[in-house]
Structure 1
Amino acid sequence: MNCCGLLTVQKEPVPLKSIEVELEVRDHVATVVSTLLYQNKEDKPLEAVFVFPLPGDAAVCHFSAKIGQRQIVAEVKEKQQAREEYDDALSSGQQAFLLEESDQSPDIFSLSVGSLPPGESASIRLEYVTELAVQADDGLRFCLPAVLNPRYQPQGSEGGSVQVTSVPASLVPYSLSFSARVSSPRPVSKVESSCSLDPLQYLNTEQTQATVKLAAGHKFDRDVELLIYYKDAHQPNAVVEAGQTSAKPGTLMGDPVVMLSLYPEFPQAVMSSVASCGEFVFLIDRSGSMDCPMDNRNRQQTRIGSARDTLLLLLKSLPMGCYFNIYSFGSRYEHIFPKSVEYSEKTMEEALKKVENMDADLGGTEILQPLKHIYSQPCIPSQPRQLFVFTDGEVGNTKEVINLVRKNSGYHRCFSFGIGEGASSALINGLAKEGGGHAQFITGTDRMQPKVMQSLRFGLQPTVVDISVTWDLPKGVSVTVLSPPITTIFQGQRSLIYAQLTGQSPEAAEGCVTVKYSLAGHPSHNQLHFSLKPADDTGLTVHRLAARTLIRSLEMEEREHRGQQDGGEKKKVVELSVQSGVSSSFTAFIAVNKDDGEAIQGPLLRRNVPAPSLSAPRGLAGAASMMKCGRPPRGWAVDAASTRNSCSVSQPHRDPLLQLVSLQKASGCWEIHPALAALLGKTSEEVEMSKPESVKEEVWATILALIWLHGFKLDVQDEWQLLAMKAASWIRAQKEPCVTECVEAGNALLGCEVQKDSLGI
């Protein structure tokens, strides 16, 4: 067979030639426009199918096709009706285009380009809006998921309709160009990325507007991730957006909508009293893909290796008196203890021995069953449950998993961590959102530890209760809140509220919203005053994000009522989706070219456009080309071992910080030990000889460890801060009279100048 042009691994020409992405970020809202250029170089008409990821909370709001000079704008219709119209158009020889969300996961879309005649080109334009999540270091994270890893479909679950053609990134036969424009009321301090960027270009002297581009030659071996940093990022604000003039007043699209960004600040006195109770449950992914490296360019650390190191830090940082357990999962699940146990030296050591032997050897990614088991365990009185989930997030039953977390959200908080490229944002964000916790993504050269320790600090914060939101608006203006009620608040974390404003407001009118809550028995409140005058040039971005928020809530309710009496949620979703032009799980975008041209003759050839994948082992790309819902095709057995071979890495020597942490006792103290002396760069004799007389050995060893941390590891303080606080608390409890003398002697021994006050003792 004589093939030419762009080919799939099955030696079929690929009609997708290029993808161009333009990103516009305004403060913390992103508008993304993707243009996909198709060309049929074959001698028969084609149907091209492309399955690709989008951020899980994106609101897809525009889809159109341009053939020659003709522009066809798609309409949102009920999904089954759209599919039937698409099939009817193809069978009658008309060109048609269909864009739909996967039934299993809201972050997977499939695009069907039907009846592309020989020699014809089509340009597809796809637009979506999304909020940008705040990261541990206050950066706003935008991710363009260029990588689509096969989703693991659990045994016995419904097979999905989405077909994923997956090839290694090096074989992707189309190009990607990416540019971004950032604007904010506050200066843009920097933009970072896991990919190579051209230098940031400021567009004004205030540095509130900037552009940045992906450097030429980007390979599809990772997602395109941008981290955007503003000065004074934690400013509460409100954006009021005017309704659509063509829409009926009183409807969501016809009325103004306000988006409030709130950053509650807690009293310092309350924040210093970190909780010493809680049931901490850690759920670790041990599927085969967790043996892949954290960063493809530096293959030193595996995902599972990083998870083991992080568990060490977590276990050492837990407070005495709390309870804990560790679960791990793949095709089956395991737990270290039959039920959560009280944290002590004995239980901590027992857990750490098992953690050291954890490998990525449990096969697939069955996360639902261990979650069900965790939720079946009775809660421990006065020990609020905190669940920490670590996964590289490639499952096919995302909606089912998130629904389970939502049903149990009244009994726990869930903190989620997406590890590595291609982690499903729908799964990671959904777990945290429905579980009242916080989501973090760890990619490229990121260290897992600081992000996880920040979430542990959130988990140790007293639970905020009695949350209420009250509105004070001018006479004649009423409010309909579109967001679900706020159920959790963390120090310095953004809470978003969308609301519809009905009625006429006088010129220069102001509104006020007050968030009240109780924290560790202390009543608190935060207020935001805002102008009701609509902002300029926001388009319908806020309306679409508000519609998406309401649609997702209704979809959740529909799933809960499924099989019961019809609650009418599906009908409401379809109506809202059609009215707002925002996609949902029950609707699809359909465009049919009803031009008067001749019908396209001949049978259609189907071409599946490959998406880049990190999971396809090199050399097996031919067999991996067709994957349905993440299941390997027959004849290609992929087990944990083959994945491990494809991603083999060399294990590094253990980091000195982790060595020091591993020597700490559960109570917070250290003991004089040859390993501690060696880590401090001294002999055991030097350590013992320098000890002031009459000081207990454990106090001396603990002060030395704290001086070493402050003197040599201050740059990673957020990783060891909690265990250092525990150590300082232990020292204070010993009521040792010679602490000042010990600090002076420790500084002299280690060549440091650490102040006693900075040690917290």
Structure 2
Amino acid sequence: MMNRCGLLTLQKEPVPLKSIEVELEVRDHVATVVSTLNYENKEDKPLEAVFVFPLPGDAAVCHFSAKIGQTQIVAEVKEKQKAREEYDDALSSGQQAFLLEESDQSPDIFSLSVGSLPPGESASIRLEYVTELSVQADDGLRFCLPAVLNPRYQPQGSEGAGVQVTSVPASLVPYSLSFSARVSSPRPISKVESNCSLDPLQYLNTDQTQATVKLAAGHKFDRDVELLIYYKDAHQPTAVVEAGQASAEPGSLMGDSVVMVSLYPEFPQSVMSSMASCGEFVFLMDRSGSMGCPITNSKQQETRISSARDTLLLLLKSLPMGCYFNIYSFGSGYEHIFPKSVEYSQQTMEEALKKVEQMEANLGGTEILQPLKHIYSQPCIPNQPRQLFVFTDGEVGNTKEVIDLVKKNSGSHRCFSFGIGEGASSALINGMAKEGGGHAQFITGTDRMQPKVMQSLRFALQPAVVDISVTWDLPKEVSVTVLSPPITALFQGQRSLIYAQLSGQCSEAAEGCVTVKYSLAGHPSENQLHFSLSPAEDTGLTVHRLGARTLIRSLEMDERENRGQQDGGVKEKVVQLSVQSGVSSSFTAFIAVNKDNSEMIQGPLVRRNIPTPLPNSMAKCERTTKESIFRGVVHDMAAAPEQPPRDPLLHLVSLQGASGCWLLDPALATALGKTNEEVEKSKPEKANSEVWATILALIWLHGFKMDAKDEWELLAMKAASWLRAQNAPCVTECVDAGNVLLGCSVKKEALGL
């Protein structure tokens, strides 16, 4: 179980890990990360150092080696139990050994054991992994180096003790982190942004397709390091063919060429402008104790739960009339606002908002499995496709079980997931969205949750793409084996990646073509990509390793689904593929034994747990909790800080009716920054008061809040369609008078009228 052994400061134990150096190489949308961990034993006894740390959930760990003095030992991938036995045998016979393994519960947590480090000895451990970069709402590619590991809550009665984690507040971490990145792409790099301070971007060539960047000196280890990389024309479909390994057997995955295809489907504008007006929207909100923590270190007053309440307000105001909805919240147990999903109306919206305003982070631990089971047990409503929105800070111990449950129910719904705050589990958030045919978002640093969630609502309102098929057109001497699971979801402008093994020989000039066909709102569509079959220069084996990782993850999931059935073959397949490709899996581990050290290491080993950073916001949050939030005990937060004044945008939004209109009343005047008298007096004589109020609200949004348009665009569209349905006279007069009153110059067309 992810529990917290005493803090380093309490233990007063020396830490043998001195520094971590991370080098990132980004090529287009794939990253290779090399971490070097430098150890030194300053004690008079031989040590075993154990470090539990996070990695991106979809990373393929592909190299692990240790250097002691002049001796370099490269680890091999072996079946996990064998590797553990070999490690124990080496230690008991006085040899040095190194073991790296993935946690059984969650693929984004690894444990590294450095065994038998003699007094005065130094060792440097090199760890290499490859990962894909996900595309954000604004087309930035996101790389995250997880630095902080939040304690994961283990549900009561769950199997397996899992990994022991020692964590300390980030300010007390005794080792340093240095980080540098090199970015190259066929397209120019327009900018690189980060949640941490960076030195300026240095371009390495005149066409700006290569650049380097590094963390500014004095970086505190108090947050995940997030880089957002922006290219010009990011939405070009691409295919990269990578040559196989000369030493590997032809016909094997590593011996053949592998292609990585990235597609960006573009849907016709006519379809995109017709947002669905139906659906069952189920919002599942984490209210465990850790949701009471600040979202960031910089904005202490904004907690994860307060941001989530604001987000639910925007979501409820943006839903289409005629849909159904419900809101669940969970901690150690779960609650729902309505016994089952209800039709969206003024009355049900108001009832839900009253409950949302009272939501606090007071439900204890993070048990997400039970509410999910309850939601899935509810019968679906005919002609109202179910859309599930899950908000969590992702401190869940049983990640694989949760993802398997989402996958099992993926035929009846789409799942959109949001990871809130530093250290949210990428394996959980990405896994739920991927298996649930939806979209994942991470909300960290200075991000506002609202624009990201509203983008996902737009995706949820897009018509579902069905009958997706991928066909390959290749020269007759080349055959294709697809390594990726079938594509189950396509969204406008979002990338889909496909990996495939290409067997057979062909001429240098040969071309291949991949076609994705699908049906959208009853219209058949297709996107095609032609590509050269000659391998790209100098990509190492990155594409092979990512292809192997994709296939390993699919097989692991099959193995969990079929557990208890008499097919032990899947596990053997995973072990074989993992050993052959050198990529880690849940059934294998990396093991290295130093057979060169002629002298036996004498004496019993002293174990030292290397602490991982806990984000400072979490550490501060913990100090205000009266009881531990990780034991699943419902706790009181310390006296709540005074409420900051309401955001003017959210104030105006809170006054909108379910149908899309606003009422003419003193509350609206206040939100617009006017007196009731001014608003009443400026109203054109023949205008209906609700029409006038709604036009004023729309002018205010367009005139003063264009920078937050992503947040209010859907509810403004709803207001405009309400206005059009009124066929009201004197709309033009109202727009002119409203502009005069509010000091704006917004055109009637801009309001969608």
TM bracket, shorter-chain basis: over 0.9
Match of 2:494 in 1: 493
Which of 730, 733, 748 in structure 2 is aligned with 1:738? 730
Q: Distance in 1 between matches of 2:326 and 2:499?
A: 38
- Cα pair 1:301 1:650 within 8 Å, conserved: no
1:159-308 alignment, distance < 5 Å: 159-308=160-309
1:405-484 alignment, distance < 5 Å: 405-484=406-485
Could you tell me the TM-score, scaled by structure 1's length?
Answer: 0.96
- Cα pair 1:482 1:546 within 8 Å, conserved: yes
1:558-577 alignment, distance < 5 Å: 558-577=559-578
TM-superposed CA distance for 1:596, in Å, is: 4.7
Cα deviation, 1:535-554, whole Å, max 9, x if unaligned, reads 01100000000000000000
Q: Does 1:608 align with 2:630?
A: no
Mark the CA change 1:266 to 1:616 in structure 2 (over 3 Å): closer, same or farther: closer
Match of 2:136 in 1: 135
Secondary structure of the structure 2 residue equivalent to 1:456:
helix
Mark the CA change 1:682 to 1:453 in structure 2 (over 3 Å): closer, same or farther: same
Secondary structure of the structure 1 residue equivalent to 2:519:
strand
TM-superposed CA distance for 1:567, in Å, is: 4.9
Q: Distance in 2 between matches of 1:297 and 1:392?
A: 18
Cα deviation, 1:456-493, whole Å, max 9, x if unaligned, reads 00000000011111111112111111100001100000
What is the number of residues matched between the two proteins? 744
Match of 1:749 in 2: 741
Match of 1:47 in 2: 48
TM-superposed CA distance for 1:640, in Å, is: 3.2
TM-superposed CA distance for 1:300, in Å, is: 2.1
Secondary structure of the structure 2 residue equivalent to 1:47:
strand
Q: Distance in 2 between matches of 1:436 and 1:416?
A: 11
Read off the aligned partner of 1:71 and give its amino acid letter. Q
TM-superposed CA distance for 1:218, in Å, is: 1.1
Match of 2:123 in 1: 122
Q: Distance in 1 between matches of 2:533 and 2:465?
A: 30
TM-superposed CA distance for 1:639, in Å, is: 5.2
Match of 1:61 in 2: 62
TM-superposed CA distance for 1:160, in Å, is: 2.5
Match of 1:651 in 2: 643
Q: Distance in 1 between matches of 2:641 and 2:30?
A: 38
Match of 1:3 in 2: none
Which deviates the most, 164-173 or 607-616? 607-616
Q: Distance in 1 between matches of 2:95 and 2:622?
A: 38
Match of 2:4 in 1: none
- Cα pair 1:190 1:229 within 8 Å, conserved: yes
Match of 2:93 in 1: 92
Q: Distance in 2 between matches of 1:8 and 1:40?
A: 19
Q: Distance in 2 between matches of 1:156 and 1:691?
A: 64
Cα deviation, 1:157-189, whole Å, max 9, x if unaligned, reads 013331100111111110000000111111111
Mark the CA change 1:238 to 1:121 in structure 2 (over 3 Å): closer, same or farther: same
Q: Does 1:352 align with 2:347?
A: no
Match of 1:722 in 2: 714
Q: Distance in 1 between matches of 2:478 and 2:173?
A: 54
Match of 1:401 in 2: 402
- Cα pair 2:293 2:621 within 8 Å, conserved: no
Secondary structure of the structure 1 residue equivalent to 2:168:
strand
Q: Distance in 2 between matches of 1:698 and 1:567?
A: 67
Which of 668, 671, 684 in structure 1 is aligned with 2:660? 668
Match of 1:682 in 2: 674
TM-superposed CA distance for 1:43, in Å, is: 0.6
TM-superposed CA distance for 1:695, in Å, is: 1.5
Runs of 4+ in 1 over 6 A off after TM superposition: none
Secondary structure of the structure 1 residue equivalent to 2:11:
coil
TM-superposed CA distance for 1:565, in Å, is: 1.5
Read off the aligned partner of 2:248 and give its amino acid letter. A
Secondary structure of the structure 1 residue equivalent to 2:300:
strand
Secondary structure of the structure 2 residue equivalent to 1:90:
helix
Q: Distance in 2 between matches of 1:507 and 1:177?
A: 43
Q: Distance in 2 between matches of 1:85 and 1:8?
A: 34
Q: Distance in 2 between matches of 1:651 and 1:81?
A: 57
TM-superposed CA distance for 1:745, in Å, is: 1.1
- Cα pair 1:301 1:649 within 8 Å, conserved: no
TM-superposed CA distance for 1:8, in Å, is: 5.1
Read off the aligned partner of 2:158 and give its amino acid letter. S
- Please list every run of 5 or more consecutive structure 2 residues that lacks an aligned counterpart in the other structure: 1-6
Mark the CA change 1:40 to 1:639 in structure 2 (over 3 Å): closer, same or farther: farther
Read off the aligned partner of 2:746 and give its amino acid letter. V
Cα deviation, 1:239-268, whole Å, max 9, x if unaligned, reads 000000000111100000000000000000
Q: Distance in 2 between matches of 1:431 and 1:711?
A: 38
Q: Distance in 2 between matches of 1:631 and 1:609?
A: 20
Read off the aligned partner of 2:288 and give its amino acid letter. S
- Cα pair 1:74 1:589 within 8 Å, conserved: yes
Q: Distance in 2 between matches of 1:500 and 1:608?
A: 42
Cα deviation, 1:17-50, whole Å, max 9, x if unaligned, reads 0000000000110000000000011111000000
Match of 2:705 in 1: 713
Q: Distance in 2 between matches of 1:569 and 1:706?
A: 58
- Cα pair 1:53 1:108 within 8 Å, conserved: yes
- Cα pair 2:8 2:168 within 8 Å, conserved: no
Mark the CA change 1:389 to 1:113 in structure 2 (over 3 Å): closer, same or farther: same
Read off the aligned partner of 1:678 and give its amino acid letter. T
- Cα pair 2:105 2:398 within 8 Å, conserved: yes
Read off the aligned partner of 1:576 and give its amino acid letter. L
Secondary structure of the structure 2 residue equivalent to 1:484:
coil
Mark the CA change 1:465 to 1:30 in structure 2 (over 3 Å): closer, same or farther: same
Match of 1:695 in 2: 687
TM-superposed CA distance for 1:631, in Å, is: 5.4
- Please list every run of 5 or more consecutive structure 1 residues that lacks an aligned counterpart in the other structure: 1-5
TM-superposed CA distance for 1:531, in Å, is: 0.6
Match of 1:386 in 2: 387
- Cα pair 2:294 2:621 within 8 Å, conserved: no
Cα deviation, 1:527-585, whole Å, max 9, x if unaligned, reads 10111010011000000000000000000000001112225110100000000000000
Mark the CA change 1:640 to 1:199 in structure 2 (over 3 Å): closer, same or farther: farther
Cα deviation, 1:248-299, whole Å, max 9, x if unaligned, reads 1111000000000000000000111000000000000000110111111221
TM-superposed CA distance for 1:437, in Å, is: 0.4
- Cα pair 1:417 1:442 within 8 Å, conserved: yes
Q: Distance in 1 between matches of 2:597 and 2:585?
A: 32
Cα deviation, 1:587-635, whole Å, max 9, x if unaligned, reads 00000000151110100000000011137645989x99xx9xx956xxx
Q: Distance in 1 between matches of 2:76 and 2:573?
A: 17
- Cα pair 2:327 2:336 within 8 Å, conserved: yes
Q: Distance in 2 between matches of 1:742 and 1:161?
A: 65
Q: Distance in 1 between matches of 2:618 and 2:727?
A: 59
Mark the CA change 1:578 to 1:525 in structure 2 (over 3 Å): closer, same or farther: same
Match of 2:26 in 1: 25
Q: Distance in 1 between matches of 2:389 and 2:146?
A: 24
Q: Distance in 1 between matches of 2:448 and 2:638?
A: 24
TM-superposed CA distance for 1:689, in Å, is: 1.5
Give the fraction of aligned pairs with identical amino acids, expressed as a percent: 85
Secondary structure of the structure 2 residue equivalent to 1:219:
coil
Q: Distance in 2 between matches of 1:92 and 1:467?
A: 57
Q: Distance in 2 between matches of 1:701 and 1:616?
A: 43
Q: Distance in 2 between matches of 1:153 and 1:257?
A: 39
Q: Distance in 2 between matches of 1:572 and 1:233?
A: 37
RMSD: 1.7
1:297-376 alignment, distance < 5 Å: 297-376=298-377
